[in-house]
């Protein structure tokens, strides 16, 4: 549960839920990278699949990774998902959100904020002293949400398009 007015809880993904997650997440990650200008459309889906394979070699049972469905209490309806990884450093633990999504039909209802409150509790119980995430610049709604609940920018990636020179 969470301390917000929106009653949601996180349910650990099983095999079936993880397969469903990949069906949504892989194309969504490819689309995000295309729309941000990082990837070309021609190979984006393959790159996205490879990213998930590399980051989750044991799928939803990969060490230090936790994948959850976001469920509305009372209705038992899945409204989104969240994936975190715990990084165990020498003197501290930190958590990183690799993916969070509220499905389009459920957006703007407070579920993301409620789920983030839940995940803060989860990672604190795991011993993490910080929680990070990446957000694409072309997603101002998400940026505003994260800033409103205390996230701060700590670095910035920049990219410039250049024309490749053809080899002679």
Among 90, 20, 29, residue whose Cα is nearest residue 60:
20
Angle at 138 between CA 134 and CA 139, to 5 degrees: 65
- Contact criterion met (CB below 8 Å) for 128 and 94: yes
In a domain, 13, yes or no: yes
pTM: 0.87
Q: What is the pLDDT of residues 30-39, one digit of tens each?
A: 999 999 888 9
Domain that holds residue 87: 8-148
Rounded Cα distance between 49 and 67, Å, is: 17
Q: What is the domain-level CATH number for residue 116? A: 3.40.630.30
Q: Please tell me the total count of domains within the chain.
A: 1
Q: Are strands 8-12 and 65-72 parallel, antiparallel or unpaired?
A: antiparallel
pLDDT, position 160: 85
pLDDT, position 5: 64
């Amino acid at each position: 549960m969470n301390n917000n007015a929106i009653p949601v809880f996180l349910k650990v993904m099983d095999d079936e839920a993880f397969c469903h997650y990949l069906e949504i997440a892989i194309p969504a990650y490819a689309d995000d990278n295309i729309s941000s200008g990082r990837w070309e459309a021609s190979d984006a889906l393959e790159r996205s699949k490879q990213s998930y394979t590399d980051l989750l070699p044991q799928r939803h049972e990969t060490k230090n990774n936790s994948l959850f469905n976001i469920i509305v209490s009372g209705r038992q309806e899945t409204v989104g998902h969240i994936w975190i990884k715990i990084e165990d450093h020498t003197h501290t633990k930190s958590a990183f959100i690799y993916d969070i999504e509220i499905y389009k039909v459920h957006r703007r209802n407070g579920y993301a904020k409620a789920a983030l409150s839940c995940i803060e509790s989860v990672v604190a119980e795991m011993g993490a002293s910080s929680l990070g995430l990446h957000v694409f610049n072309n997603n101002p709604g998400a940026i505003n949400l994260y800033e409103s609940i205390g996230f701060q920018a700590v670095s910035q990636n920049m990219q410039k398009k250049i024309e490749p020179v053809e080899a002679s």
